[in-house]
Amino acid sequence: MSLSDAERFARLRLARADRVGPVSFRQLLERFGSAVRALDSLPDLVRKGGSSGYALPPTDRIEAELAAGEKKGARLLVFGDADYPPMLAAVDPPPPLLWTLGDVALLSKEAVGIVGARIASAGGQRIARGLSQSLGQAGFVVVSGLARGIDAAAHAGSLETGTVAVLGGGVDDVYPPDNAGLYDQIVERGCVVSESPMGARAQARDFPRRNRIISGLSRGIIVVEAELKSGSLITARLAAEQGRDVFAVPGSPLDPRSKGPNELLRQGAILCEGIDDVRRAFETLRTLSEPPADAFEDMPGEVDQALIDRVAALLSPTPTPRDELARACGAPVSHVAAALLELSLAGRATLLPGGLASL
C-alpha cells in the first residue's frame, strides 16, 4: 500500500524529532502502526521515560525542508514508500528517509560499492576506475561517497552505466567543492542520495551514517586503498555486519594505503583483482544475513513504570544486548524493548543496531 501524504509528512517529522534515531523510528512505527499516531504519543512517552519539556519539530520547519527539496528538484523517499531501496529496507534498522537527486530507479538495481583512500595513488585510481567500468558493463550500479581519490575514480568509471553518490551533507551540498563537475554529471546521469536535510553541510558525525548507506545499498563492498584507521574500513565493517560481501584489492606492504585492504584479507575478506573475483563470489550460493526478529512486534501499549526503572538501573556505558536485559529483569523481551524506547526518547538510553542499548 502507498503511504498517504499525511503519513509521509509525519514520517519526515518523526525522523527529524529530537532523540529519534533509526532504531527508535522503526520501533515507534511498529508500536503505533503509523507515524501520525507515534507523533501524538511521543510527548507522553518522553515524560514517562523521565524527561520533561519535550517539543516536536514545528510543522513549518518540515514544510520548509519539503519546499527546499522541491525547489532543488529533489525527491524524498521515506521508509515504506514503494520506491524505497529494497536492499536498504532490509538493513537493521533502515534509514527513515532519503533525499535523492537524479534517477531513483538506480537505487533498486543490484549494486556494488567501491571505497578507498582520498589521497589515492595513480595506480589505485586506475584500478577503481577499471573495476567500476567492468562492473557497469556486467550490469551493476556502482555506489560510492563522492570523496576525492578512489571514490571519484569509481564514479567517473561508471557514469555511463549507472552510479550512485551517497553524501554526508544534504543532496545540495557539493563536497568536496573540487568534485562539483563530477557531482553535476552524477545528478544528470546517476543518482545523489543523502539522509541529511536539504541545505545541511557535511560534518564529521555525518560520515558514519553515509558509510552505512553505501554498504546498505550494495551487495558487496570493494576496498581499493585505505589506511588502517579510515572511513573505508568502517564501511567494510558495516558491510560485514549487514551480511554483504567484503572485497579487498591487495597492495604493496611498503605503501601505508595498502595496510587497510591487506588487513581485511587477513580477516577473511575476498581477494579482488578484477571483475571475475566479484562474479565468482556472487555466484556462490549464500544468504544475506537476515535482521534479527522484531522483539518489538508485540510491544505493549503501556509499559509499567517499575519495569522502566529496573531497565534503567541495569544500563551501563557498555552496550548490552536487549535479550540480556530481559533475562535480568525477568520480563518479556518485547516489554523491555518498549521500556528502552521510552528511556531513549527521554535521553536516558541510547539504542544501537543489533538489539543493543547503553546509557
> In this structure, which CATH number among 3.40.50.450, 3.40.1370.10, 3.30.565.10, 3.30.379.10 belongs to the domain 102-283?
3.40.50.450
Q: Is the dihedral of CA 249, 253, 255, 261 positive or negative?
A: positive
Angstrom distance (rounded) from CA 107 to CA 346: 35
Map grid coordinates 558491510 to a residue. Answer: 239
- pLDDT value at residue 332: 83
What ranges do the domains of the chain cover? 102-283, 305-358
> What per-residue confidence (pLDDT) applies to 18?
87
* Nearest alpha-carbon partner for 214 in 279, 141, 268: 141
305-358 CATH fold: Arc Repressor Mutant, subunit A (1.10.10)
Using CB atoms within 10 Å of the CB of residue 343, give its burial: 0 to 12 exposed, 13 to 18 middle, 19+ buried: buried
**Per-residue tens of pLDDT for the chain, all 359 residues:** 588 999 999 999 999 998 898 988 998 998 899 999 999 988 888 888 777 777 889 999 999 999 999 999 999 999 999 999 999 998 888 999 999 999 999 999 999 999 999 999 999 999 999 999 999 999 999 999 999 999 999 999 999 999 999 999 999 999 889 999 999 999 999 999 999 999 999 888 888 899 999 999 999 999 999 998 888 999 999 888 888 999 999 988 888 889 999 999 999 999 999 999 999 888 874 434 334 444 445 565 677 788 888 888 888 888 888 888 888 888 888 888 888 777 887 788 888 776 788 88
Predicted pLDDT at 208: 87
**In angstroms, rounded to a whole number, what is the distance separating the alpha carbons of residues 254 and 237?**
24
> Which residues lie across from 163 on neighbouring strands?
142
Say which residues have a Cβ less than 8 Å from residue 345's Cβ, sequence separation at least 6.
19, 20, 24, 42, 45, 46, 49, 51, 54
Q: Which helix (H) or strand (E) holds 322?
A: helix 322-329
